[in-house]
Chains A and B, each alone.
Chain A
Amino acid sequence: MGERVIFIDPITRIEGHLGLNAVVDTGNKVVKEAWAFSTMFRGFEIFLRGREPPDAIHLTSRICGVCAASHANASVKANDMALGAVPKPFGVVIRNLAWAVTDHIYDHPTHLNILAGPDYSGAVISKLTPSVYEEAKATKAENSDIHGFSTVGDLLDGLNPLEGKIYMLALKMQRLARQAGVLFYGTHPHPRTLIPGGIGATVTVDSLIQYSYRLTKLTAWVKMVVAVWEDIANFFNSIGYEKQGMTYEKPNLLSVGIFDDPETYSSLGESYEEIYGNVDDAGRKRFLKPGLILDGELVTDKLTDMNVGTVELVDRGFYQDWDTLFVQEDPLGNQVVWGREELAKYHPWNKTTIPNPVAQNWKEKYTWTGTVRYVWKDGRIRPIEVGPIARMWVQALHSGGKVRIDLPRTNGVSELPQGTWEPVTFEWNIPKVGASTTIERMRARAYNVALDVAAAWHFLLVGLDLAKKGSLETSRPWKRPSHAVGFGFDEAPRGSVRHWMVVENYRIKNYQVHAPTTANLSPKGRFGATGPYEQSVIGTAITEEVGPDEWTGLDLVRAIRSFDPCIACSVHIFVGNRRIEKLVTPMCTV
């Protein structure tokens, strides 16, 4: 029995730059230990210091070129709170409508079918796992009345890059979502119109109708996406993939919820203290509910709890420790990190980014990400996993263990099979395996986008109603406080995106960003637990039907890609497939 190290850097078809080092037991073909790492420093927290708070909306948007609006939305909410201004109801509606299409309805199908989909495509599996391909060819696709493919093998061929029908449709349909978003954001990928206390877009009934035309087509498309991925997920689970990529046997999941209720959010208050004091109510009224699940149990749905207990340490990251303490108590009087003094400086209001690049050492520092952990009132400290599966899971716990999604009739969408024209009711259930796995993360993402479509229709009707009444004002003026704190918690397609801000004399004193990947890619740390990416790879078995020397790490990249990773988008350094032979690609273009 031996060991084989699989070193994959970069993991491609993701946004940004991520590497993986895994040790596989060649006897049972299972991963024993893994280190996932980010290879680039981002630095936004540093150059935001001293700027006016609204600048952060547009600067942090540049953190990602795929889900740019995600950071802009988290930042605008941190600004709303800190600068004491919330939008008028129609402004909340327009923010929701834009946000639903770009990024969510645009991003999820892109990830499923273009970025992660090729891992399941006929082109890949016929080469690496030919027996699985044969079995797929012989397996009937249960949802063929919706998507029109007869066998699972046909679906997998449909995911072949550049020629598969599903892949090509995904390329085509993502465009409609971008067009719909630009109606309100002005530009894509970076929204131009988000401002503290509102959205600077002139919206008319005509723009809402243009939106609905595109949403109709996207609704039909999303029905197809769910039908396709339900069949693919069931097939892979049936051939023994059920536990592959499992993170925690008792899940630790966070969703902060998404899509604010127009009336509730627009009446949160006029100062950071008021808004902070009311924000838990706004969270509970979101279209998708917030929740924190520790060891499999929902412990809170309060956004302020999710704020107070969050820490980020740098034991294993290329950063220096610090001693700053900007905030000891939140506006409700809670001590940060529940009064645990030794951890207070690691709360994001206090965390100070000081880069300290040193040589990579698996036993010490090996990544540019920090160790994100959640500290609960009872003393438990857990890594937290975020993403569509967290969102669906939390939503299900708020609604009797399942999520029901009704999508309307969508006649006449000529690009898509007629089966997608009928009204459909989808139901997502907490996975039988009771945990987050590679396949269940993919399935949850497909259902999540159906929920996003339902949200878009809901807010479109609310918006038309407000427009009919002539309530077309969107924004309120923001203030220039001499001291304030704020947080903006939202859900990016790939998971909770959270921004924290400390303001002094209307300048940013401290700013911290937790992209979804900050939590998911968090490395090991002093509390002993392993972050979600690494945990998903540990215990995963190699299913490639070739000898160890020819393993490509397909099952490992599937596990990682199922999270939809996002790291600082940067220069691509092409590296040999498994060895640590680094070379720069000669032609890194188009």
Chain B
Amino acid sequence: MGVGNRLLGDDGVGSCFAEVLGSLINHEWLLVVDGGLGGLNLLDYFEGVELAYIVDAVQGEPGQVILYKVNPQVSREAIRMVAEYGSHGITPDILLAAAASLGYLPEAYVVGIAVKEVDLGENLSDEVVTASLKALRLLTRELGKRGFPMKVNEKAFLEGMFRCGGA
């Protein structure tokens, strides 16, 4: 699942990632979802899912790609945040915590792509598009280790990302 706001520059990288990846592969064991800004409306997608990767924009050195395991715990801070600001801005941890409360318990990871510019606009920065290929390789490797071989045409992927990013 890729998430993010395509109208906020690099924040949309996850959403683009899902759109492009979904157009290039099709496996029985895999569902690719462009979650956009779905917030808690995305919960339904986790029913019956065993393993989930969420591709999202994160803060860090622009172009850096990170992987971390989601900790689906509802913290007091998370409750306060949703109470005060609503569900549009929730994090993958909160989303998965809510999914866990509904009895959907996938093992979940975030593939984070560190952003350069998050500002009004529909373009992805070159750093982020390039990093999306690193993220794809990371995802491919992780899935391979678990016995889910995924083969993606990298050239087509990168072209798709540039197109999605407005280049």
Residues of A at the B interface (CB closer than 8 Å) are 12-14, 114-115, 118, 121, 123-124, 160-163, 168, 171-172, 175, 570-572, 574, 584-590
Does chain A have a CB within 8 A of B88? yes
Partner of B89, one of A118, A161, A175, A585: A585
Does chain A have a CB within 8 A of B150? no
Contacts of A585 in B (CB 8 A): 89, 118
A590 touches B79 (CB 8 A): no
Across the A-B interface, give the 8 residue pairs with the lowest CB-CB distance, nearest first. Answer: A13-B86, A161-B82, A12-B86, A118-B83, A589-B4, A571-B7, A590-B3, A12-B85
Q: Given the complex of chains A and B, what is the CA–CA distance between A118 and B86 in angstroms?
A: 9
B79 touches A160 (CB 8 A): yes
B85 touches A13 (CB 8 A): yes
Q: Given the complex of chains A and B, what is the CA–CA distance between A589 and B2 in angstroms?
A: 10
- Encoded as 1 (CB less than 8 Å from any A CB) or 0, chain B from 70 to 92 comes to 00001000111011111111111
Q: Which residue of B lies closest to A119 (CB)?
A: B83
Interface of B is mostly: mixed
Within 8 A of A (CB), among B1-57: 3-5, 7-8, 11, 14, 35, 37-40, 42-44, 54, 56-57
Q: Given the complex of chains A and B, what is the CA–CA distance between A12 and B87 in angstroms?
A: 9
Given contacts A589-B57, A590-B90, contact A162 B8 (CB under 8 A): no
Contacts of A163 in B (CB 8 A): 74, 79, 101
Contacts of A574 in B (CB 8 A): 89
Contacts of B38 in A (CB 8 A): 590
Given contacts A161-B79, A590-B35, A590-B42, contact A13 B87 (CB under 8 A): yes
Q: How many A-B residue pairs have CB under 8 A?
A: 105
Given contacts A161-B82, A161-B83, contact A171 B102 (CB under 8 A): yes
Contacts of B83 in A (CB 8 A): 118, 121, 123-124, 160-161
Given contacts A12-B86, A124-B83, A590-B56, contact A114 B5 (CB under 8 A): no
Q: Given the complex of chains A and B, what is the CA–CA distance between A14 and B39 in angstroms?
A: 13
Q: Given the complex of chains A and B, what is the CA–CA distance between A524 and B80 in angstroms?
A: 34
A162 touches B57 (CB 8 A): no
B57 touches A587 (CB 8 A): yes
A162 touches B11 (CB 8 A): no
A588 touches B59 (CB 8 A): no
Given contacts A589-B3, A589-B14, A590-B3, contact A175 B79 (CB under 8 A): no
Does chain A have a CB within 8 A of B98? yes
Does chain A have a CB within 8 A of B136? no
Residues of B at the A interface (CB closer than 8 Å) are 3-5, 7-8, 11, 14, 35, 37-40, 42-44, 54, 56-59, 74, 78-80, 82-92, 94-95, 97-98, 101-102, 115, 118-120
A589 touches B78 (CB 8 A): no
Contacts of B57 in A (CB 8 A): 587, 589
A172 touches B86 (CB 8 A): no
Besides A161-B78, A162-B74, A588-B11, 14 new A-B residue pairs in contact (Cβ under 8 A), listed by A number: A12-B84, A114-B87, A121-B83, A161-B83, A162-B97, A162-B101, A168-B101, A572-B89, A584-B118, A585-B89, A589-B3, A589-B5, A589-B56, A590-B91
B88 touches A172 (CB 8 A): no
Q: What are 18 contact pairs spanning A and B, CB under 8 A?
A: A13-B86, A13-B87, A114-B87, A123-B83, A124-B83, A162-B94, A171-B40, A571-B8, A584-B118, A584-B120, A585-B89, A587-B58, A589-B3, A589-B5, A589-B56, A589-B89, A590-B42, A590-B91
Given contacts A571-B7, A584-B119, A589-B57, contact A162 B79 (CB under 8 A): yes
A587 touches B44 (CB 8 A): no
Tell me which of A14, A586, A587 has the highest count of chain B C-beta atoms within 10 A of its own C-beta. Answer: A587
Q: Chain B's nearest CB lies how many Å from the CB of A160?
A: 6
A590 touches B43 (CB 8 A): no
Q: Which residue of A lies closest to B118 (CB)?
A: A586
Q: Chain A's nearest CB lies how many Å from the CB of B33?
A: 12
A172 touches B102 (CB 8 A): yes
Q: Given the complex of chains A and B, what is the CA–CA distance between A586 and B14 in angstroms?
A: 14
Q: Given the complex of chains A and B, what is the CA–CA distance between A571 and B89 in angstroms?
A: 11
Q: Given the complex of chains A and B, what is the CA–CA distance between A123 and B94 in angstroms?
A: 16
Tell me which of A121, A161, A585 has the highest count of chain B C-beta atoms within 10 A of its own C-beta. Answer: A161
Q: Given the complex of chains A and B, what is the CA–CA distance between A368 and B141 in angstroms?
A: 49
Q: Given the complex of chains A and B, what is the CA–CA distance between A107 and B88 in angstroms?
A: 16
Q: Which residue of A lies closest to B15 (CB)?
A: A589
B5 touches A162 (CB 8 A): no
Contacts of A587 in B (CB 8 A): 11, 56-59, 89, 91, 118
Contacts of A114 in B (CB 8 A): 40, 87
Contacts of B118 in A (CB 8 A): 584-588
Q: Chain B's nearest CB lies how many Å from the CB of A173?
A: 11
Q: Which residue of A lies closest to B92 (CB)?
A: A590
Q: Chain B's nearest CB lies how many Å from the CB of A531?
A: 23
A168 touches B102 (CB 8 A): yes
B79 touches A123 (CB 8 A): yes
Contacts of A171 in B (CB 8 A): 40, 43, 98, 102
Q: Given the complex of chains A and B, what is the CA–CA distance between A562 and B48 in angstroms?
A: 35
Q: Chain A's nearest CB lies how many Å from the CB of B93?
A: 9
